[in-house]
Amino acid sequence: MRTLLQQSIERLLADAVTPDVLRAAEAGVWPADLWGKIEELGLPLAAVPEDLGGAGASWTDIFVVVRACGAAAAPAPLPEAILANSLLAAAGLEPPESGAIVFAAGTADAPLPEVPWGRHAKWLALHDTRTGRIALHALAEARIVLDNNVAGEPRDTITLAPGSLVADAATSAATDAVMLGGAMLRSAQMAGALGRLTEISAEYANERVQFGRPIGKFQAVQQQLAVLATQAAAAVAASEAAFLMATPNTEALTTASAKAVSGEAAGKGASIAHAVFGAIGFTHEHSLHFLTRRLWAWRAEYGSDAYWAEQLGRTIAARGDEGLWPLVTAAFAETKTDD
């Protein structure tokens, strides 16, 4: 299933996500055609069990979808929809068949800040950490205050309308399921964006001629491209490990590692890419910023790399010298993957 999902999403995004589409999305235009094709492929329900109308894909399968969304800077909440529907399904609730769905943590009687893609969503999966319940709300009559992150992606404040509740149930998900799940998604998106940055930076370095030869022939540039590729590979390894362990719920240790590693790599990778492209990469007309601005935004969402590094440090320190190795290996001891 992983290969099928990867081929489907990469083919779709390659055809549908263009610089013009991205600029329109930043101006507030909802990419209805793109979302329609996403729903036709059943991708928002990919992680939902088959008995609840989904595809029953594992999080290891889902990783390639989220990574591809990051690589393409996809202007649609597919990663958020996958997680939101998964949270509902884990509580025994049937996800909605159509319409964009996003997630948030909080209570139904208070404003919910920085909800990704809130203005374009039809549904909201709300994790109430106070009561330990997950609920499906309709957003048709919700009051929405518009805002954006530095990449121009919607991060709105939503106040639910009375009577918006569709269904709710108790959930066994962690009290910070939204924080952990969001961090896991952003780590994979950053890994995808870094991989794409590596590709386009190497291509440009081999095309841009300076002092009579491509700048990619200069040792200093080669070294920086090697660092960029290394950072991208580290982000992929860390984030894929987090998805591997998300069975059925997000695992705190590997997710913290993924967000910390990917966030640090995002900062270094964006700097290298802009250095390689030089002045042209800083212009709005060039498409480089669609990736780098998202890297800057995503590294700060659902906990920065510094935040998660601190959480890791506290966890490791609490275990002591003798507890470090069991802590590192225990998360993977019972994990089985298909050959």
Residue 10: pLDDT over 60: yes
pLDDT at 333 (0 to 100): 63
Residue 305 has pLDDT above 60, yes or no: yes
Mean pLDDT for the chain?
93
Q: Are 190 and 268 in contact (CB under 8 A)?
A: no
pLDDT, one tens digit per residue, over 38-50 is: 999 999 999 999 9
pLDDT of 80 over the 70 cut: yes
Checking if the pLDDT of 337 tops 90, the result is no
pTM for the model stands at: 0.94
Span 230-252, mean pLDDT?
A: 89
The answer, yes or no, to whether residue 334 has pLDDT greater than 60, is no
Q: What is the mean pLDDT of residues 252-258?
A: 92
Percentage with pLDDT > 90 across the chain = 81
**Range 233-249 average pLDDT:** 90
Side-by-side strand order, sheet with 101-105: 101-105, 123-128, 133-138, 165-170
Quick one: pLDDT at residue 339? 42
pLDDT in tens, 192-223: 999 999 999 999 999 988 888 998 889 999 99
Provide the pLDDT for residue 249.
66
Angle, CA 291 vertex, CA 286 and CA 295 arms, to 5°: 140
* Confidence check: pLDDT of 171 > 90: no
Reported as a pLDDT band with limits 50, 70 and 90, residue 281 is confident
Q: At what angle do helices 219-245 and 305-333 cross, to 10 degrees?
A: 60
Report the pLDDT value the prediction gives residue 321, as an integer from 0 to 100.
Answer: 85
- Token readout for 38 is 């996403």
Joined tokens for residue 93: 């609730």
| CA distances, 314 to each of 12, 228, 262, 310, 329 (Å) | 42, 29, 19, 6, 18
Phi, psi for residue 137 in degrees, rounded to 5: -120, 145
The pLDDT score that the predictor gives to residue 279 is: 85
Find the mean pLDDT for residues 240-251: 82
pLDDT of residue 173: 72
**Predicted confidence (pLDDT) per residue in 95-133, tens digit:** 999 999 999 999 999 999 999 999 999 999 999 988 889
Residue 335 has pLDDT above 70, yes or no: no
Residue 235: name the closest of 83, 97, 67 by CA. 67
> What is the average per-residue pLDDT within 68-75?
98
Give all domains of the chain, ordered by start, each with its CATH number.
Answer: 2-170 (1.10.540.10), 177-332 (1.20.140.10)
